[in-house]
Amino acid sequence: MISVHTSPLDQPGTGDAGGLNVYVVETAKRLGRQGIEVEIFTRRTSAALAETVELSPGVLVRHIDAGPYEGLAKDDLPGQLCAFAAGVMGHVARSPEGHYDLVHSHYWLSGQVGWLAADRWDVPLVHTMHTMARVKNASLAQDDRPEPSGREIGEEQVVRAASLLVANTPREASQLVDLYDANPDLVEIVSPGVDLETFTPGDMSAARSAVCLPQDAQVVLFVGRIQPLKAPDVLLRAVAKLLERDPARRQKLVVAVLGGPSGTGLEKPRGLQQLARELGIADVVQFAPPVSRVGLAQWYRAADVLAVPSYSESFGLVALEAEACGTPVVAADVGGLPDAVGDTGRLVSGHDADDWATALGNLLDDDVARKELSGKAIEHAARFSWDTTSDQLLHVYRHACRSAVEESPDLSMVDFAGIPTAPIP
C-alpha cells in the first residue's frame, strides 16, 4: 500500500489525517490476519521515526525520506513525488525479485507513485481515490480555495493507469465514470467499515461523566478536521439560529467540536473559536483536540446527535462510527453520506443555517424519534465491518492478479504472494 501524504500512524482528526488513515490501518490489519503480507509506504515526517515500524502482525509501515520532515504542506507534495518514488524503488532494490505482487495506492498523490511502482514491478495497480478534485470543486465552501488543475490532471492519469479502481459507493463509482472517463468495467464498489469492537452502544450517563459533560445537557457533537470542507461553521451558525428561536435552550445546550485545524483551516487556526464569539454562542461551544479511538467512542455515546455538515464526503466514517454507538446523525445530503446514514438519521439538503437549525432542533426535542433512530443506527452500522471490507478488497486483488495473468502469459505460473485465486463472487 502507498499513502504518501499521511501516515497510518498519525492521529486522525489533525493535519491531513482522517478517514483515509483509518481505512488504511483497519484494512491492512485485517489483511495481515488473513496471512497477506502488507507493507505501507509513507513519507517520514520526523527524524525520530524508525525506518520500519510494525503496525500489527504481518503489517509493516516503511518511512521514506522526501522533503523536509516538518512544515511541508500537502500542496507542496507533488514536488516531492520523484524523491518519494526514488526512495521506494531504492528499498525495493534490496528486496528479492517478485517480492511485491500488487500495489494499492490511496489518494491521487499515492496513485502517481503507485503507477510508477506497478509498472516497474510489472504488477497490478489498485487505486482508491478517497476524494476527487472535480467533486470537491463542484461544491466548495464559500471563500475556500479550489483544488488545482494539476491535481485534476494527476487524477486523470491515475484513473487511466490503474488496473482496477475501488469506489466507496455507487455514487462515487458514477463520478469516476462521468467526471474522469473511467472504464465502468474497471470500477469495483467496496464500502468502508466500522470497528464494531470499539464503537459499541453504551451508557450515556457514564460516557458523559467520562468526557466531563453535564448529565442533563442536550449535546450536539462534531467530529472532524477543522477546515471549510467539513463545514463546522455551518453547525455554529445553525446553533446561533436555534438559540435565537428559543433563548431558554441556552441553559442546556452543549456543542462539542472535536478536531484540529487542517487544509485551508490552518490559515485561521482559531477562526472557529472567533466565529463562536461573533455569533454570541461561545458559552455553549466546547472545543476539544482529537482523541483515541476508545475515547472517541465515549464522545459518541455522550452525544444526543452527531452533526456532519460537510460540503463533500466520499463516505463519512464518523457517521458510521456514531451509529455503531447508537447515536443518531444529522448529515448533509452529499457524497457517500446517504449510504453511511441510511434511514438512521436526518439528511439536510444544502447548507442553509435555518434548515440545519430546524433539523437539529426537531431531533433534539423529540426523545421518541431519537430512541427509534438509535436502534436503527445500531442495526445499520452492524451491516458494515472492516472484516467485510477487507474480504471484498481481497476479491478485488484476486481479480486484478488474475487479469494480470491472463494479459501476461509469462506470469501464468506466478503465485501472487499467497493471495488465494478462488472465484470472485
Does the annotation list 168 as a binding residue? no
Helix, strand and coil in the chain, % to nearest 5: 45, 15, 40
- Residue 98, number of CB atoms within 10 A of its CB: 14
Give the closest residue to 364 by CA, choosing from 259, 216, 225, 212.
216
Tell the burial category of 75 from Cβ atoms under 10 Å away from its Cβ (0-12, 13-18, 19+).
middle
209 is written with which cell numbers?
461523566
Tell the burial category of 225 from Cβ atoms under 10 Å away from its Cβ (0-12, 13-18, 19+).
buried
- Residue 168, number of CB atoms within 10 A of its CB: 26
Does the annotation list 327 as a binding residue? yes
Does the annotation list 156 as a binding residue? no
Does the annotation list 17 as a binding residue? yes
Strands in 59-64's sheet, in edge-to-edge order, are 38-43, 59-64, 52-56
Torsion of CA 374, 381, 40, 146, to 10 degrees: -70
Helices then strands, each counted (H, E), the chain? 15, 13
Does the annotation list 19 as a binding residue? yes
Let me know: does 317 contact 279? Beta carbons within 8 Å.
Answer: no
Does the annotation list 76 as a binding residue? no
Does the annotation list 27 as a binding residue? no
Give the closest residue to 345 by CA, choosing from 330, 358, 355.
330
Does the annotation list 300 as a binding residue? yes
Amino acid at the residue 116: L
Does the annotation list 237 as a binding residue? no
Does the annotation list 5 as a binding residue? yes
Does the annotation list 131 as a binding residue? yes
Does the annotation list 74 as a binding residue? yes
Q: How far is it, in rounded angstroms, from Cα 365 to Cα 274?
A: 28
42 is written with which cell numbers?
509513507
Does the annotation list 286 as a binding residue? no
Helices (H), 285-366: 293-302, 317-324, 337-341, 353-364
Does the annotation list 107 as a binding residue? yes
Does the annotation list 85 as a binding residue? no
Quote the DSSP letter at residue 199.
Answer: S
Q: How many residues does the chain have?
A: 425
Q: How far is it, in rounded angstroms, from Cα 405 to Cα 317?
A: 35
The residue whose grid cell reads 459518541 is: 300
Does the annotation list 324 as a binding residue? no
- Residue 127, number of CB atoms within 10 A of its CB: 26
- Residue 104, number of CB atoms within 10 A of its CB: 28
Does the annotation list 69 as a binding residue? no
Residue set of the binding site: 5, 11-12, 16-21, 74, 107, 131, 151, 225, 230, 291, 300-301, 303, 313, 321, 327
Q: Which residues are annotated as a binding site for 1D-myo-inositol 3-phosphate?
A: 5, 16-21, 74, 107, 131, 151
Known binding-site residues for UDP-N-acetyl-alpha-D-glucosamine equal: 11-12, 19, 225, 230, 291, 313, 321
Would you list which residues are annotated within the binding site for Mg(2+)?
300-301, 303, 327
